[in-house]
């Protein structure tokens, strides 16, 4: 996935727009950091470390780029391309 097509967590997870979400409301790029800072159960139980959003945006992952690409393709989030990348665009 190219940087131009990077999706935020609520897009990757395909969350319902009706759900109240402070991460989405504030366009927070690293949702797991917000979860940790606010002692949310996802962080406390280690769920963030297993989440596709976290795995896509971190260098240190057990999944290969092709596996991440397959997951993102299966969710219909981007088209197949030569260099999949889940990183957020640099500011």
* pLDDT bucket at 25, cuts 50 / 70 / 90: very high
Mean of pLDDT values over 25-48: 88
User: Within the chain, how many helices (H) and strands (E) appear?
Assistant: 6, 0
Span 45-59, mean pLDDT? 81
63: left (phi over 0), alpha (psi -120 to 50) or beta: beta
Q: Using the predicted structure, report yes or no on whether residue 58 has a pLDDT greater than 80.
A: no
**65, two tokens:** 């780029």
Q: Where are the beta strands (DSSP E) in the chain?
A: none
pLDDT at 83: 40
pTM: 0.62
Looking up tokens 């795995």 gives: 55
84: pLDDT strictly greater than 70? no
- What is the residue-averaged pLDDT of the chain? 75
How many angstroms separate the CA atoms of 58 and 8, rounded?
14
């Amino acid at each position: 996935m190219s940087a131009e097509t990077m999706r935020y967590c609520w897009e990757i997870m395909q969350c319902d727009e009706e759900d109240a979400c402070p991460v989405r409301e504030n366009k927070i790029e690293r949702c797991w950091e917000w979860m940790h800072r606010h002692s949310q159960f996802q962080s406390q139980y280690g769920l963030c470390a297993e989440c596709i959003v976290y795995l896509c945006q971190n260098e240190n992952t057990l999944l290969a780029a092709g596996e991440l690409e397959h997951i993102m393709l299966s969710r219909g989030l981007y088209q197949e391309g030569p260099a999949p990348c889940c990183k957020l665009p640099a500011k």
